[in-house]
Amino acid sequence: MLTIKLPQLFSNHQVPRVFREDGIISGYRHPRSSALDCLLSSFQMTNETINIWTHFLPTWYFLWRFILLCSSLDFVNESYSWPLLVYMLLICLYPFTSSCAHTFSSMSPESRHICYFLDYGALSLYSLGCAISYGAYVMPDCWVDSWLHHHFVPIAVLNTLVCTGLSCYSRFPELEFPHRSKILRTGAFVYPFLFDNIPLFYRLLLCSSQSCAHSEALSSHCHHLLFAFLTCFLFASHLPERLAPGRFDYIGHSHQLFHICAVVGTHFQMEAVLADMWSRRGWLAAHSAGPSFLGTLGALGLSLLLNLAIIALFSAALLWKPSTALSPCAQNHPHPHPHPHSHSHSCNPHGADRKEQ
């Protein structure tokens, strides 16, 4: 009878420092897992399992919504739908990339960094998708055809490069300067979020002081902003596991809650974008030139190539000039010259001795 042996799990002191998470004591996978082990671990309870599924399952939900839209919209010939096409592609991409990153991040220290480089790149492209859709459908009436409107997408393309570059760089000083690394990474994603939402913030202020033109989508926009705030708070605070280390190792730690809030927020954002797209179509057609290929799919293609180039550069720097801080043995010790008998323990967790793959 065929039996499958699930990979063994370890505590935080048995794995290199680069794999440890604040407040998470147990449930770690082997730091030199095979790809098969990583896949199998998604079907056992580890401290990454819910991280994997809370983004893998929503990928299929967003894909289902995308397929439904494909049946009712002409994404090929109708230029007004191109911003929505870019947005829908990217809200399918970012949770899938995140799920893959969490699945395969325990193959080695280097693969962990590269997995999250790709994750950051997908998130920065998602911010571009938000900017393209907001520039096309959410822009306040009085800003349509303004300087900001014409330059909104080009600035957003530059923002993706800053976001990807800064977030990838933040992984290098992570062990020596964890607080600096966290600030850099948080700022890398907060900045494009604030820029993308400038039109929405203005519309909300306008709504609070005057009449609410095109207000059908504002309720969903407000829900999205609420969940975006919760997402940022959970990512930066490491609550609740920081208050009770070990209690939330498998269920309920901040990264799981962060994933859930991000997905729920994206759902409300998608509903708001669709509502604005339908309700403002006639007015936007009469007062603006409409979306262009260069400002939608062209911007996505250019950003994709440039972001992949940035990820390749950081990956090359990681692989060609491995730092002592990124060495799998050195990561388990706070001192540059650990005790000579400690190396075998840090690179080969108890009960998991195997050849490095």
3-state secondary structure 71-98: HHCCCCCCHHHHHHHHHHHHHHHHHHHH
| Bridge partners (DSSP) listed for residue 28 | 10
Q: What CA–CA distance (Å, rounded) separates 339 from 138?
A: 59
Both tokens assigned to 205: 């202020």
Q: Where are the beta strands (DSSP E) in 111-175?
A: none
Per-residue pLDDT of the chain (357 residues; tens, 9 = 90+): 456 677 899 999 999 999 999 999 999 999 999 999 999 999 999 999 999 999 999 999 999 999 999 999 999 999 999 999 999 999 999 999 999 999 999 999 999 999 999 999 999 999 999 999 999 999 999 999 999 999 999 999 999 999 999 999 999 999 999 999 999 999 999 999 999 999 999 998 877 655 555 567 899 999 999 999 999 999 999 999 999 999 999 999 999 999 999 999 999 999 999 999 999 999 999 999 989 999 999 999 999 999 999 999 999 999 986 554 444 444 444 333 333 333 333 445 444 443 333
Angle at the Cα of 130 from the Cα atoms of 145 and 65, rounded to 5 degrees: 120
Q: How far apart (Å, rounded) are the C-alpha atoms in residues 116 and 189? A: 14
> What token pair was written down for 180?
């600096």
Q: 303: closest CA among 144, 115, 147, 132?
A: 132
Would you tell me how many other CB atoms lie within 10 Å of the CB of residue 350? 11
Prediction pTM value: 0.89
83: Cβ contacts below 8 Å, ≥ 6 apart:
132, 133, 135, 136, 137, 291, 296
Q: How far is CA 290 from CA 100, 196, 218, 278, 283, in A?
A: 36, 19, 22, 14, 11
Residues 148 and 295: their CA atoms lie apart, in Å, by 14
